[in-house]
Amino acid sequence: MSELNAKENLLDRVFADAGERDQSYRQSERQLAERHKEHLQSLKNTTRRPLTCRLESSLIDGLTAAGFVQVVTPILLSRGMLAKMTITRDHPLTRQVFWVEEDKCLRPMLAPNLYHLMRDLVRLWGKPMRIFEVGPCFRKESQGALHLNEFTMLNLVEIDDLEGRQQSRLQELADLAMGAIGFKDYRLETSESEVYGETIDVLAGDLELGSGAYGPHRLDQQWGIIDPWVGIGFGLERLAVAVEGHRNIHRAGRSLSYLDGARLNI
């Protein structure tokens, strides 16, 4: 029944006998299935697009209105691009990478491609240079309730004369993204990162919605970046979990079993 997002207390209840328990479970299951059917009806008749897709549209609208330009880069990433993020053979993240060929993988993050574009675009456009990408990323995960093997990242980055105010700009950009989807219950917190050393995370309760970083950073030299920058990467399915209160992120991910969070085998 947890597939139907039954609340934990439903599974913990105490019954007089097995018959009473089975009857009660059957009733709860029927009610939950009913709710999922209603949700699918409202998807068909009203919203017509899953929440993750609607969140993506709202973020695109909010970011482009704020001057960010959308970029679209390859999903197949070379080993060399990962190495420039310091993700080489002995790095812990390497074990999470899906290799397609000896020297190509499915991108586990958008940052290498954005880093690559930043140098040309700041040269061509000057400052401020604001771009974002939204698209699939892949990581081998040990299938917890908060991790998917394929998920959708939205990564924004800005280069500007931000010296000394990168942290406050990061807060502003987190506010911009959260404002675009109308989500209020979040906070920023600093944490350790294997790639960046330190990240500033956007959290809803214990759930990490996004991770931000800023430069000048030791990785910048590899990519020919000298100006200050700030960037944040959000997981769209994590945002859907936060908005809907799902207990399992698989309800929000690319799926053949769920559509917009509703179970299909009901």
Among 200, 237, 242, 246, binds ligand ATP (CB under 6 A): 237
Binding-residue total with Mg ion (CB under 5 A): 1
Among 87, 110, 157, 209, binds ligand ATP (CB under 6 A): 209
State the binding string over 35-74 for ligand ATP (x if CB under 6 A, else -).
----------------------------------------
Residue 211 found at the interface with Mg ion (CB under 5 A): yes
Footprint (CB under 6 A) of ligand ATP, residues 138-157 = 139, 141, 147-148, 151, 153
What is the C-alpha separation between 161 and 163, in angstroms, rounded?
Answer: 6
Residue 196 found at the interface with ligand ATP (CB under 6 A): no
Among 235, 246, 251, 262, binds ligand ATP (CB under 6 A): 235
Residue 234 found at the interface with ligand ATP (CB under 6 A): yes
Query: For Mg ion, which is the closer residue by CB, 32 or 219?
Result: 219
